[in-house]
Amino acid sequence: MKAINITLVYNGQTEAAFNFYKSVFGGEFSNLQRMKDIPGAPPMSAEESEKILHMSFPIGGAILMGMDMPAGRGTVNQGNNFMVTLDTSSKEEATKIFDGLSVGGTVMMPMADQFWGSFFGMFTDKFGIQWMVSYVNS
């Protein structure tokens, strides 16, 4: 296992929140992608296209990540506005963890190679905790 991090999910306020965190902690964002950056993205409003798909902000030895909830996927409420993110050491480890933790839960995105270069999947476990599992060959 490389790391365990937290991803915060917002209703369109990710960029403002992360700029606030940056003003407190200092430093720079290590990644910022907008919804419009998705290859072959479906038609979306100008407002939706500017929402944050993924944002990363290193703080100490951890990475705080954030995203805006895409349109049509519901709203974010306190209590469901975070995901535990596991960065693994191999595709095999990622698959084993994903397959084990997702038993009895709901898979939102099966493990697969993604356009941003990660082997990635998302699910909610049987206890209602949202997880993202990722492997990046770096």
For residue 52, how far is the Cα from the chain centroid? 10
Q: What is the per-residue pLDDT across 35-93, written as a single tens digit (0 to 9) for each?
A: 999 898 788 899 999 999 999 999 878 899 999 988 878 778 776 788 888 889 999 99
Nearest CA to 83 out of 4, 1, 7 is that of: 7
Handedness of CA 79, 118, 55, 30 (dihedral sign): positive
Nearest CA to 86 out of 54, 60, 118 is that of: 118
Q: Which CATH number characterizes residue 99's domain?
A: 3.10.180.10
Q: What is the value of pTM for the model shown?
A: 0.69
Instruction: Report the domain count for the chain.
Output: 1
Question: For residue 25, what are the domain limits?
Answer: 3-135
